[in-house]
Chain A
Amino acid sequence: MQYAILCYHDEKVTCAWSKEHDDAVMAKLGAVMGRLERQGKLGPVARLLPTTAATTLRQDREQPLVIDGPFAETKEQLLGFYLVDCASLEEAIEIAKELAAANPGGAHEIRPVGVFFPAKVAS
């Protein structure tokens, strides 16, 4: 069984971290991830940039709507995520529109990735 582990944290607090503190947290995480990786248990890992950098494509109406920021209403839950490599925000929005067309309703949050570790899990 594979599990997605989604990290939630208060951005106001993480953005108040000093660089030293941030580095220390990343170093500790790196140690844990290193162990999991050696055990062949680690899939792709991404650290997302703050929600202020995010864009959301809402498709609960006829014309999809692109809005700033994360999708804030809590009646919908995060069901998974895709990792795509695009040249621009425009391209990412286009891909999100295709995904949305295949999977209508709800919203897709387009959130830039800050740190990415590729997959190493034995599948």
Chain B
Amino acid sequence: MTDAGWISSILTAARPHAVAALLRNFRDLDLAEEVFQEACLRAWKTWPKNGPPRDAAAWLIMVGRNVAVDTVRRRSRLQMLPPEELISDLSDAEAAVADRIDESDYRDDILRLLFICCHPDLPATQQIALALRIVSGLSVPQIARAFLVSEAAMEQRITRAKGRIAAANVPFETPGVAERFERIAAVAAMVYLVFNEGYTTSVAEHGARAALCEEAIRLSRLLLRLFPTEPEIMGLAALLMLQHARAPARFDSQGRVALLEDQDRTLWNRRLIAEGLALIDKAVRHGRPGPYQVQAAIAALHARASRAEDTDWTEIDLLYGTLERMQPSPIVSLNRAIAVAKVRGPADALAMIEPLASKLGGYFYFHGARGAFLLQLDGIQVALDGHPGQPVLGPVKLVNLGGRGIRDIVWSPAHGSYLIIGGPIDDQATVNNPGFALFSWTGSGDPSQVHAFDDIIGGIKQQFHPEAIVPLPQRIDGKLTPSKEVLLISDDGERRKEEEGVVCKDLPDAKKSFRGVVRRVN
């Protein structure tokens, strides 16, 4: 291994221990960080020659303390310390420090360091940024990249967070048992926030943000080493590992989100799954369930199913029921409804989520799930109102538009049929993009039988995204009557207007425009 490889691995591993101990010494976050950086610089100078010390964290703490003394001496212009090479072989001195600091000291030190980062005065985004900077040691540009913000903005966010911490009252005494558990819970929540920050739904952002998920897993392992018999910490680590194991399968080749049911399970990270399963197995033996363990157990059931249809939905339903009691939330109930739909059918699932409508009305996935349950139901009208004599919806019909989705559908009296604009499911897709096309459908008979009009839309050469179709009337003998002409209207939001240099939707309202063309459809 190269010097750079092993030294940076050791420094990364020792960082939380060393910074946490230095913080206890100086009670000043900036100073602790500064002297740790200096100690690292000295490590880079001396370790390649002398090899790594027996206890890297102890070495860094000792050198860090010397640096602080050194700084004070320099400031008072007394004398310089001896050259670094002379004090670089610290094996004896370091052993003494190592003996005095055992894991349990580190435990409260590191917990304090993490706890400071999730200080209740800090908004979530600042907590995460601070933890990544101070505990994980990520650089400001690295964190900025993961958050998709500029370096200057991130620098400011971290400085502001540090300012708030300095103004707040940070507890330095050793915590009591109850306090320690409170801190563990707060820190676990913060680690979960870091993970969620990295769990995005866009492939474009996935690369940069996945680093946050990996960092969260690293933090959960750190917590696990400090509290190796805490079942909720095992659950947290297992949950993160089992979720992140699916990352390689979360997007399909066209960059679209692949639902759990549709994922290629051979792409899942087996080693992370093995570790996550081992941890949740261990946790369950303690008989002290908690929300992280329950969520991990649910993730474990998905991980254990080699095919989507092998999933144990009955058990998942029970686990969500447990989670609902521990941590009541409409989102948990919504997730449970998905399991209920699999076990007891869509009608039960619909009945379950009906009371959630007021709370989750603005939540995209609520409508998605509700729509999916309705589609599974035969006799859809019963679910909608249940009153006889009301307008009813018939069974769902699938029209074959050659892999396209419906952008607009309208009844055209002159044609005696519906006209449908079919468009790609994803406009941005570069592979297998079927483009836009115009169809007609009688509305009865075999719904898969539609007629496609060639070249009505395909003949338009410029970038044209028809999203609306309007049958136009004609005037015959002074009377408006239906015609076979239609107006096609393009969504030009993404179109760059050359004279303006920006896309249409970014222009001031007065300059926004769209195009329409009139075509005769025979």
Contacts and interface: CB of A to CB of B under 8 A. Distances in A.
Given A25-B1, A49-B275, A52-B279, 4 more contacts: A16-B12, A49-B271, A112-B275, A115-B271
Contact of B9 (A13, A49, A55): A13
Interface in A36-73: 49-50, 52-53, 55, 66-69
Interface string B1-16: 1000100011011100
Contacts of A15: 13, 218, 221
25 contacts: A11-B225, A12-B13, A12-B14, A12-B225, A13-B9, A15-B13, A16-B9, A16-B13, A17-B9, A21-B9, A49-B271, A52-B221, A52-B224, A52-B225, A52-B234, A52-B237, A53-B278, A55-B282, A67-B229, A68-B282, A69-B228, A69-B229, A90-B281, A113-B274, A115-B271
Given A15-B221, A112-B275, A115-B271, A52 B285 contact: no
A13 B341 CA distance: 45
A10 B5 CA distance: 15
B214 interface: yes
B274 A89 contact: no
Contacts of A68: 228-229, 282
Nearest to A69: B228
B274 A114 contact: yes
Determine the interface band of chain A, counting residues with CB < 8 A from chain B: 20 to 34
- Which residue, A17, A68, A115, has most C-beta atoms of chain B within 10 A? A68
B5 A21 contact: yes
A53 B13 contact: no
Contacts of B281: 88-90
A75 interface: no
A97 B160 CA distance: 56
Interface residues of B, number: 25
Nearest to A11: B225
B14 A53 contact: no
Interface in B1-60: 1, 5, 9-10, 12-14
Contacts of B13: 10, 12-13, 15-16
Contacts of A52: 221, 224-225, 228, 234, 237, 279
Contacts of A114: 271, 274-275
A113 B277 CA distance: 12
Contact of A16 (B1, B218, B228): B218
Task: Describe B's contact surface by its main secondary structure.
Answer: helix
B11 to A, nearest CB: 9
Contacts of A88: 281
A112 B10 contact: no
Contacts of B218: 15-16
Contacts of A115: 271
B375 to A, nearest CB: 37
Contacts of B14: 12
A103 B278 CA distance: 25
Contact of A112 (B9, B214, B278): B278
A11 B225 CA distance: 10
A119 B12 CA distance: 36
A90 to B, nearest CB: 8
A96 to B, nearest CB: 14
A88 B274 CA distance: 11
Nearest to B279: A53
A49 to B, nearest CB: 5
Given A53-B275, A68-B229, A115-B271, A89 B282 contact: yes
Contacts of B271: 49, 114-115
A78 to B, nearest CB: 19
B305 to A, nearest CB: 14
Given A55-B282, A69-B228, A112-B278, A50 B5 contact: no
Contacts of B9: 13-14, 16-17, 21
A16 B218 CA distance: 7
Given A13-B9, A15-B221, A50 B282 contact: no
A50 B214 CA distance: 16
Interface string A16-38: 11010100010000000000000
Query: Could you say which of B10, B224, B237 has the most chain A C-beta atoms within 10 Å of its C-beta?
Result: B224
Nearest to A70: B228
Nearest to A13: B13
Going nearest first, the 10 A-B pairs with the smallest beta carbon separation are A89-B281, A16-B13, A112-B278, A53-B278, A12-B13, A16-B12, A68-B229, A52-B224, A69-B228, A13-B13
The listed residue with most A CB atoms (<10 A of its CB), out of B221, B224, B234, B278, is B278
Interface in B91-122: none
A37 to B, nearest CB: 21
Contacts of A21: 5, 9
B179 to A, nearest CB: 23
Interface in B253-287: 271, 274-275, 277-279, 281-282, 285
Nearest to B280: A89
B263 to A, nearest CB: 20
A89 B300 CA distance: 14
B109 to A, nearest CB: 15
B188 to A, nearest CB: 15
Interface in B209-254: 214, 218, 221, 224-225, 228-229, 234, 237
B221 A50 contact: yes
A49 B282 contact: no
B275 A50 contact: yes
